Amino acid sequence: MTIAVGTALAVSSCTTPQVATLPNVNQSNIAAIAKLQLAVGTATVAEPGGTSEVGLNVVTTIRIPGGNNATFQNTPLLIAPMPFISNPVNSNPDTVSGVLPTQLQALASGSSKRVPDALTEFGATVGVFGYGLAGENTVSPSVYQKVYGVLTTCTDIGGVLASISNAPGGPTAPGFNAPRSQELALPVFVPKACGFAGTFTGKPTTTDYYGGPPAWPSPAAATQPTFFLGFPLGFTDFASHPVAGTYQLTVGFTTSNDYSTWANMQATATLPSAAVAAPLPLFAPPPTLAIQNDGSALIDVTVPPGVTEAVINVNATDCFLAQQPSRANNNYSVLTRVTGHQTLFLPSHLGPPDPTNGRPTHTFCTLGDVAEAKALLPPGSVVPTTGNYHVAAVGFDYPAFEASYPQSSSIAPMITNARGSADVTTADPQSIAYTFVTGP
């Protein structure tokens, strides 16, 4: 998990070596100084084949003065004037909730070893952080595995997350309970193997969004932790049709290391009927990339009217090939505040530093990267000559970029437009394979 410190991010100290007990979160009652915000809007969600449906967008912040995350671990409860899910298994389909750490521990020590249906929507890992909902709660891995491990056929928990860590090796690996950078797969409540389904009739492609260079600083900068994948974009769209009315968010958090005392913060937001009646147009067609011989790319995109700023995200193969496949894909982002058809530029050396010489690596891999890897590896080593990239785009009608880290260190950044809503439109994400380019 991450917190803002000036214009950089730092990691909270919130882990514990005691895997069989509740994590030590080291947080005090910050309700007197923190600010919780909630904004809601429409989400025009693209679906394969050029269709779309309108869902709900939720934007939330919980910060203390200086912009830091207010808590290291918390449990959200979101109540809406409409059903989130089409197949309710409880009496409150208009409520999405998380799991308190003490509830999870009680479940782990009980005989049923099953999560009650009413507690599974957000699972144990999703909390409200400095900019949006994210899967960054610290949870005891042994307790988590005892409760959720029985769900062996699930591809994710409650339609949101598949695991509580990005540590290789899963729950038995060192670092499983470490802080992590875990944005949600959006939109939430797209049908999964054992999760809830929203009220959409179609099935959009899910993806996660991480802000990266050149719009955001490089996550590989010296001030960033090694696990940090990118900056949050702050929005969470649901595959659930919205209605006008009042939405309520309650955030519960412990105020003591032994979980003996608790506090709540609450915020409400109104979705205007005008926003529901006039959502943003579909973001279509999806952006396309033309990779250049130097490892850069041209992005062809048409930003729909009504959008005040759009972010095109590209997730691409890491080009330090001597350590493939252990190095994760890199995230890049281009920001535009222009509507209509345009060609944007993604520079050629945005990748994290080459560990052998400290120079930035290519954005898209070149044959020179292949030669460098062969020189570093034992003779006969196989070096890939093809990679992949994933491109997704989202348009906003509120100052989403300005509210994000490290642009904002405000306790309460602006997260709505002039009419009081926070609307988005998303393109259908695309996954593309490419052959490494000639290179310099």
| pLDDT tens digits for range 228-265 | 889 999 999 999 999 999 999 999 998 887 788 889 99
Question: Chain-wide mean pLDDT for the chain?
Answer: 85
DSSP three-state, residue 69: strand
Amino acid 10: pLDDT: 33
Q: At what angle do helices 141-148 and 101-109 cross, to 10 degrees?
A: 60
What is the distance between the alpha carbons of residues 170 and 255, in angstroms, rounded to a whole number?
29
Token pair belonging to 47: 């679906």
Task: Dig out the tokens for 38 from the structure.
Answer: 């909630």
What mean pLDDT is predicted for residues 23-44?
87
- Relative to beta strand 3-5, strand 8-10 is antiparallel
Distances in whole angstroms, Cα of residue 184 to Cα of each of 163, 193, 312: 11, 17, 17
Please give the order of strands across the beta sheet that includes 340-346.
288-291, 297-303, 340-346
DSSP state of 257: T
User: Comparing C-alpha atoms, which of 186, 211, 236 is closest to residue 46?
Assistant: 186
- Comparing 200 with 222, the larger pLDDT belongs to 200
Least confident of 86-100, 157-171, 288-302, 364-378: 157-171
CA distance 440 to 425: 37
Summarised one tens digit per residue, pLDDT across range 348-363 is 999 999 989 989 999 9
Dihedral (CA of 331, 194, 40, 429) sign: positive
Q: What is the pLDDT averaged over residues 38-49?
A: 97
Determine the Cα–Cα distance for residues 120 and 196; give it in Å rounded to an integer: 9
**Pairing relation of β-strands 424-426 and 35-47?**
parallel
What pLDDT, on a 0 to 100 scale, did the predictor assign at position 261?
85
Residue that the structure tokens 């979101």 belong to: 78
- Return the minimum-mean-pLDDT range out of 131-145, 254-268, 286-300: 131-145
Query: Coil, strand, or helix at residue 362?
Result: coil
pLDDT at 89: 57
What is this structure's pTM?
0.90
